[in-house]
A = this chain, B = another copy of it.
Amino acid sequence: MFEIVFDNAKIFKDCIDALVTLIDEGEFQITKEGIKLRAMDPSQIAMVDFVYPKSALEKYEVPAETKLGMNLDDLSKVTSRVRAGEKLTLKMDKNGSRLDLIFKGKTTRRFSLPLIDVAGTTPKQPKIEFDSKVKINGFTLKEGLKDASLISSHVVLKVNKEGFTIEAQGDKGEVLIEAKKDDDVLLEHTVNAEARSMYPLEYLNDLLKTTDNEAVVMLDLKTDNPLRIEYPIGQATIVYYLAPRIENA
């Protein structure tokens, strides 16, 4: 049976927060390379692809690949109880029907959560040849999307030679946020072709909710194609794909 130790339990909490924002339940794959989870949200508008590499774990004893179906709502309540400086051990309980989470700090706290059957199959990773890529400061991106939320429920993201823009319009007016190619907040900016697509703000705000203000968020775009969002959580990586809303011609 496996035993996995996170030196800093807080990082695992942040990962679960980033998953539960999209899906209520999910199946972790405990593989030779690390912990993985890939799933679509119930409305099939967004996908998450999560990898926590073995190399980032203090201990990773996995004799055989295992699948762990979990209620992520319940799991996130438990991981939210983490305290500063705690280690976290994951292992199966004695009779193999529950996952033990053991937090070790000033006290020892053991939670045992039941495994569940998760319906459906693991989705495939989309194959998209993106036209442009930006790396942007997490705070700037999140706040720009909140600006846009005052005006509309959808936002147009655009990358061209000048930089990256967030735009929205509606009955209440118009908003345009520009991060120009030389602005400090735009950390990388690669344009093969201009890309411009509309996305739902509710999803974008949710997907970036747990992003650290100082995190570097990578966005890959292609006109009228899914948006790829990637950011690190410690040494783990979260990738989301978000379907575009095709604007009326």
Beta-carbon contact of A150 and B108 below 8 Å: no
CB-CB nearest in chain B for A99: B173
Q: Name the distance in Å between A132's Cβ and chain B's nearest Cβ.
A: 18
Beta-carbon contact of A185 and B108 below 8 Å: no
Interface size class of chain A, counting residues whose CB lies under 8 Å from the partner chain: 35 or more
Q: Which of chain B's residues have a CB closer than 8 A to the CB of A174?
A: 98, 110-112
8 Å CB interface, A150-206 against B = 150-151, 172-180, 183-185
Q: Name the distance in Å between A142's Cβ and chain B's nearest Cβ.
A: 12
Chain copies in the assembly? 3
Q: Name the distance in Å between A188's Cβ and chain B's nearest Cβ.
A: 16
Beta-carbon contact of A144 and B109 below 8 Å: yes
- In angstroms, Cα B137 to Cα A176, docked, is 41
Interface centre among A77, A106, A173 (most CB of B within 10 A): A173
Q: Which of chain B's residues have a CB closer than 8 A to the CB of A143?
A: 81, 83
A109: which of B77, B81, B177 is its contact (CB, 8 Å)? B177
Known: A81-B143, A113-B172. 8 other contacts (CB 8 A): A81-B150, A106-B140, A106-B185, A107-B183, A108-B178, A111-B147, A111-B151, A114-B172
Q: Could you name 11 residue pairs across A and B whose Cβ atoms are closer than 8 Å?
A: A74-B172, A98-B173, A106-B185, A107-B140, A107-B179, A109-B144, A109-B147, A110-B178, A111-B150, A114-B172, A114-B173
